[in-house]
Structure 1
Amino acid sequence: MPPRLTIVSPCYNEEATLSHSAGALSAFLERMISLGKVTPESRILFINDGSQDQTWPIIKELHRTCPYVDGLSLAGNVGSELAIMAGMMQAREYSDAVVTIDSDLQDDLDAVEEMLDRLAEGYDIVYGVKVSRAADPFLKRTTAQAFYRLQQAMGIRMIYNHTNFRLMSRRALDALALYPERNLYLRGIIPQLGFPSTTVDDVIREREAGTSKYNYRKLLLLAVDGITSFTTRPISWIIGMGLAFLLISICMAVYVVVSYVEHLSVPGWASLMLSLWFIGSILLLSIGVIGQYIGKIYIEIKQRPRYHIAQFLKHNDDDR
């Protein structure tokens, strides 16, 4: 029996792209239904992540006019990761599988059909892996690849060149629901679930309209979250730097003593100041890294809700 599929798509100020995205996703669902790969009860769930434009009114109108479109509005902006989590947790209650895809539809929709084939073969998680990032700007493409390599160097279990384009089965979603952390980094959590997984190729395309909401500041914050949520290796590096500086200090002490005995010591204001600035910057950097971990502990122990749902629009199965 084919699965009941829900396509979850987070939206933040996407009024320029929603109509096109809804049309393309609806046409895709109709094709999958006609091929018998998903049930007629399959849906598209747009998540309004506290948008400040007409995104939510457009979603409500699409829900009224299109039998496939449902809508979930969050009470405020919580970020892409939590918005996706909210959509997946809402959809898992009535879905056999969920696909997450950005509302700009730069990811390859044809890859979703291949994901469904892999699901039928017994895989619970299917990752969309970017085989070409030619549509991304050079700087974004370069920094993203550097970030993936840094994650691998730090021992984080992740899928190279994978963002949030993936399919998850119902039991994988049930397992994901057991992870209560507030500092959410789905690309690191989901590979830890342990269920059978595979990948499909994802060729990135140009946006049809609008601009990307992921600026370099947000990408940097995401990188920091990804590293500090899944590895303590930066702290280990700090310890290593401390030991290295201890050895350098011992060598400098020997040099100073020898210079004093041999009457070779010369006032070295410049070298002294450079040393102070360098060591001071290392200390501040180290304190900052440790502070990141302490800050995350602070957020986690408060156990505040990750998001609040303002409104949920859902078609009944007999609405067709």
Structure 2
Amino acid sequence: MNTPVLYIVIPCYNEQEVLPVTSGMFLEKINSLIAKGRVAPESRVVFVNDGSKDNTWNIIQELANSDEHFEGVCLSRNRGHQNALLGGLMTVKDRCDITISIDCDGQDDINAMDAMVDAYWDGCEVVYGVRSKRDTDTFFKRFTAEGFYKLMNWMGAQVVFNHADYRLMSSRVLNEFANFKEVNIFLRGMVPLVGFKSTSVYYERAERIAGESHYPLKKMLALAFDGITSLSVKPIRLITGFGALISVISFVGVIWAVVEAILGSTVAGWASTTSIVCFMGGIQLLCLGVIGEYIGKIYLETKQRPRYIIEKCTWNRENSQK
């Protein structure tokens, strides 16, 4: 096997505080891998600017001018973490042999990259970075995060437990992944669908080095809902099953009401009637909301709008749409 060219792809959104700190860490790591002969000297660190409103892109350009191992990709506007990461991966897939995606906040242990590259040398096409424990998280954060992965798997979106978007993928995997054309993307659940030999590397996650998290509870819940509705129809099936159960109970209730009426033992009451009507109305609205979410995704898919638009790259590659 030839020494692979590695591109570390890092999505960035308003990261002017943390980028000057973590960029040096990424440069040191890629130089270390090059010195050990694990990756080729042509390997690069690629920052993907996701329409940042601060000085992030200027910092990326300065880094690219200061060292040949730094490169930058700028999206035309903010498209969200998943689309920014996908845009970076698809832009570099023909320039390298392997990619490692990681966030730029310094929480993921960059030393796990050594084990990822070793696993690639051993024949793995996909290597997942998995958190071994969550000691640095608060109880609420740990409870909600682990509940997120359990909910995803229970709902039919098969994801690797405690794995975010820290992973190694070969160019072969990326070329196959390029055939996935859906607009609503959830990479944590989509990458396992590609297949090929894979493994996991475990590491301890640290606290964010600087700046604020861009994934509060609200965004985490939205991400979970997007992932479930993009990868699974189980919620629709649950609604169908629940509707069938309510229908059976209602049918039994109707028979009971008819029998009571014939026997003349019915007592008029508005409280029970109101409660049932409100309960059923709430259930119906909830079900309509879930169904509407799926219909909305179908609507977006049929438009086939580009998932991202590359405005410019530091290597002067032609602007492109994907």
**TM-score class, shorter:** over 0.9
Q: Is the 8 A contact 1:115 1:167 kept in 2?
A: yes
Q: Number of matched residues?
A: 316
Give per-residue Cα distances to partners, 1:130-162, cap 9 Å, x unaligned.
111222333222112112111221232221111
Structure 2: which 5+ residue stretches go unaligned?
Answer: 318-322
Mapped to 1, the partners of 2:199 and 2:158 lie a distance apart of 14
Cross-structure match for 1:98: 99
Q: Which amino acid aligns with 1:81?
A: Q
Map 1:240-319 to 2 at 5 A: 240-314=241-315
Give per-residue Cα distances to partners, 1:160-188, cap 9 Å, x unaligned.
11110000001001011111111011111
Q: Is the 8 A contact 1:71 1:313 kept in 2?
A: yes
Map 1:1-320 to 2 at 5 A: 1-314=2-315
Give per-residue Cα distances to partners, 1:196-217, cap 9 Å, x unaligned.
0000002110111111111222
Shift of 1:262: 2.6
What SS class does the counterpart of residue 214 from structure 1 fall into?
coil
- Distance change in 2, residues 1:294/1:315 (3 Å): closer
What SS class does the counterpart of residue 167 from structure 2 fall into?
strand
Q: Which amino acid aligns with 1:192?
A: L
Q: Is the 8 A contact 1:10 1:102 kept in 2?
A: yes
Mapped to 2, the partners of 1:71 and 1:273 lie a distance apart of 61
Between 1:225-234 and 1:133-142, the stretch displaced more is 133-142
Q: CA RMSD in A?
A: 1.3
Mapped to 1, the partners of 2:197 and 2:52 lie a distance apart of 36
Mapped to 2, the partners of 1:170 and 1:313 lie a distance apart of 21
Between 1:131-140 and 1:232-241, the stretch displaced more is 131-140
Mapped to 2, the partners of 1:77 and 1:214 lie a distance apart of 15
Structure 1: which 5+ residue stretches go unaligned?
Answer: none
Shift of 1:307: 1.0
- Distance change in 2, residues 1:167/1:44 (3 Å): same
The TM-score, its normalising length taken from structure 1, stands at: 0.96
Q: Is the 8 A contact 1:49 1:73 kept in 2?
A: yes
Mapped to 2, the partners of 1:181 and 1:39 lie a distance apart of 33
Q: Which amino acid aligns with 1:19?
A: P
The TM-score, its normalising length taken from structure 2, stands at: 0.95
Mapped to 2, the partners of 1:30 and 1:213 lie a distance apart of 29
Q: Is the 8 A contact 1:67 1:315 kept in 2?
A: no
Q: Which amino acid aligns with 1:34?
A: A
Between 1:151-160 and 1:188-197, the stretch displaced more is 151-160
Q: Is the 8 A contact 2:156 2:228 kept in 1?
A: no
Shift of 1:40: 1.0
Give per-residue Cα distances to partners, 1:263-299, cap 9 Å, x unaligned.
2211221111110111001101111111111111110
Mapped to 1, the partners of 2:137 and 2:31 lie a distance apart of 30
Shift of 1:104: 0.4
Give per-residue Cα distances to partners, 1:228-253, cap 9 Å, x unaligned.
11111111111111111111111211
Mapped to 1, the partners of 2:152 and 2:217 lie a distance apart of 17
Mapped to 1, the partners of 2:314 and 2:63 lie a distance apart of 11
Between 1:152-161 and 1:296-305, the stretch displaced more is 152-161
Mapped to 2, the partners of 1:207 and 1:152 lie a distance apart of 27
Q: Percent identity?
A: 43
Shift of 1:315: 8.8
What SS class does the counterpart of residue 44 from structure 1 fall into?
strand
What SS class does the counterpart of residue 199 from structure 1 fall into?
strand
Give per-residue Cα distances to partners, 1:72-115, cap 9 Å, x unaligned.
11011101101000010111121110000000021111111000
What SS class does the counterpart of residue 132 from structure 1 fall into?
coil
Between 1:24-33 and 1:258-267, the stretch displaced more is 258-267
What SS class does the counterpart of residue 243 from structure 2 fall into?
helix
Give per-residue Cα distances to partners, 1:21-56, cap 9 Å, x unaligned.
110000111111111111111100001101111111
